[in-house]
Chains A and B, each alone.
Chain A
Amino acid sequence: MLNKIQNLNYLLIFLVILISFIGAAGLYSAAGGSYSPWASRHLIRLVLFIFLAVIIALLNIKYIYQFAYVFFILSLLLLLSVELIGVFGKGATRWINLFGFSIQPSELIKITIILAMARFYHDLKFDEIKRIKNLFFPILILFLPFALVVVQPDLGTALSIAMLGILVLFASGIRIWKFVLGFFVLILSIPLSLNYLQPYQKDRIFSFLNPEADALGRGYQLIQSKIALGSGGLTGKGFLEGSQSYLQYLPEKQTDFIFTLIGEEFGFIGTIFIILLFFLLISVCFYISIKSNHIFGRILSIGVGSNLFIYVIMNISMVSGLMPVVGIPLPLVSYGGSAMLAIIISLGLVLNAELNANLKKLHNA
Chain B
Amino acid sequence: MFYSDDKKQYSVLNRRTFFLYLLKVSFFGIVGWRLYDIQIKNSEKYKTLSKNNQIDVEIIYPLRGKIYDINNKILASNTKVFDVYIIPENTKNINKSLNELNQIIKIDFSDRRKIIELSTKVKKFEKIKVLENINWSELEKIESNKLNIEGIFISQDYMRIYQHNNTVSHLIGYTNKPNREEVELPFIANMPNLEIGKDGIEKSFNPNLIGKSGQREIEVNSYGRVIREISRQDSQKGNDIYITIDLRIQKYALSLLKEHKAGSAVLMDINNGNILCMASTPSYNPNKIIQKPNKEYWDSILENELSPLTYRCIQGLYAPGSTFKMVVAIAGIVHGVLDTNTKHFCSGKIGLGDRLYHCWKNNGHGLMNVSDAIKESCDVFFYEISKKIGIDKIAEVAEDFGLGKIYDVPLPNQKKGIIPSRDWKKKKYDESWYPGETLISAIGQGFVLTNPLQLAVMTSIIASNGKNVRPNIIKKNNDFEFEKLEKYQNAIKIIKSSMFKVVNESKGTAYNSRSEIIPFAGKTGTSQVRRITVAERESEDFRKKEVEWKKRDHALFVGYMPVEKPKYAVSVVIEHGGSGASTAAPIAKEIFQFIKKLET
24 contacts between A and B (CB under 8 A): A126-B9, A172-B13, A229-B46, A230-B38, A230-B47, A231-B43, A243-B50, A247-B53, A249-B54, A249-B221, A263-B35, A272-B32, A298-B17, A302-B20, A309-B27, A313-B31, A317-B31, A317-B34, A320-B34, A321-B34, A321-B38, A322-B30, A360-B1, A360-B2
Complex CA gap A286/B43 in Å reads: 35
User: Within residues 229 to 244 of chain A, which ones have a CB less than 8 A from any CB in chain B?
Assistant: 229-234, 243-244
Q: Are A126 and B3 in contact (CB under 8 A)?
A: yes
Q: Is A275 an interface residue (CB 8 A)?
A: yes
Q: Is A279 an interface residue (CB 8 A)?
A: yes
Main secondary structure of the interface of A (DSSP, over half): helix
How many of A's residues come within 8 Å of B, CB to CB? 51
Q: Is A248 an interface residue (CB 8 A)?
A: yes
Q: Is B39 an interface residue (CB 8 A)?
A: yes
Q: Are A249 and B53 in contact (CB under 8 A)?
A: yes
Q: Is A178 an interface residue (CB 8 A)?
A: no
Q: Are B222 and A268 in contact (CB under 8 A)?
A: no
Inside 8 A of B31's CB, which chain A residues have their CB?
275, 312-313, 316-317, 320, 322
Inside 8 A of B372's CB, which chain A residues have their CB?
none
Inside 8 A of A267's CB, which chain B residues have their CB?
39
Q: Are B46 and A289 in contact (CB under 8 A)?
A: no
Q: Pick the contact of B9 from A173, A233, A361 — CB < 8 Å?
A: A173
Complex CA gap A189/B405 in Å reads: 90
Residue numbers of A with Cβ under 8 A of B are 125-127, 167, 170-173, 220, 224, 226-234, 243-244, 247-249, 263, 267-268, 271-272, 275, 278-279, 282-283, 286, 289-290, 295, 298, 302, 306, 309, 312-313, 316-317, 320-322, 360-361
Q: What residue of chain B has the Cβ atom nearest to residue A249's Cβ?
A: B222
- Per-residue 0/1 for B1-32: is the Cβ within 8 Å of any A Cβ (1 yes, 0 no)? 11101101100111011011100100110111
Shortest C-beta distance, B34 to chain A (Å), equals: 5
Complex CA gap A289/B42 in Å reads: 39
Shortest C-beta distance, A134 to chain B (Å), equals: 14
Q: Are B14 and A290 in contact (CB under 8 A)?
A: yes
Residue numbers of B with Cβ under 8 A of A are 1-3, 5-6, 8-9, 12-14, 16-17, 19-21, 24, 27-28, 30-32, 34-36, 38-40, 42-43, 45-47, 49-50, 53-54, 219-223, 227
Q: Are B222 and A247 in contact (CB under 8 A)?
A: yes
Inside 8 A of B1's CB, which chain A residues have their CB?
360-361
Q: Are B39 and A263 in contact (CB under 8 A)?
A: yes
Q: Are A228 and B50 in contact (CB under 8 A)?
A: yes
Complex CA gap A226/B27 in Å reads: 19
Q: Are A302 and B17 in contact (CB under 8 A)?
A: yes
Complex CA gap A230/B37 in Å reads: 9
Q: Are A271 and B28 CB-contacts (below 8 A) given A231-B46, A247-B221?
A: no
Complex CA gap A271/B12 in Å reads: 35
Q: Are A231 and B35 in contact (CB under 8 A)?
A: no
Q: Pick the contact of A289 from B17, B43, B45 — CB < 8 Å?
A: B17
Shortest C-beta distance, B55 to chain A (Å), equals: 9
Q: What residue of chain B has the Cβ atom nearest to residue A260's Cβ?
A: B38
Q: What residue of chain B has the Cβ atom nearest to residue A127's Cβ?
A: B5
Inside 8 A of B39's CB, which chain A residues have their CB?
229-230, 232-234, 263, 267-268, 271
Q: Pick the contact of A306 from B14, B20, B42, B227 — CB < 8 Å?
A: B20
Q: Are B6 and A286 in contact (CB under 8 A)?
A: no
Q: Are A226 and B35 in contact (CB under 8 A)?
A: no
Q: Pick the contact of B50 from A127, A227, A271, A361 — CB < 8 Å?
A: A227
Q: Are A290 and B17 CB-contacts (below 8 A) given A230-B47, A263-B35, A275-B28?
A: yes
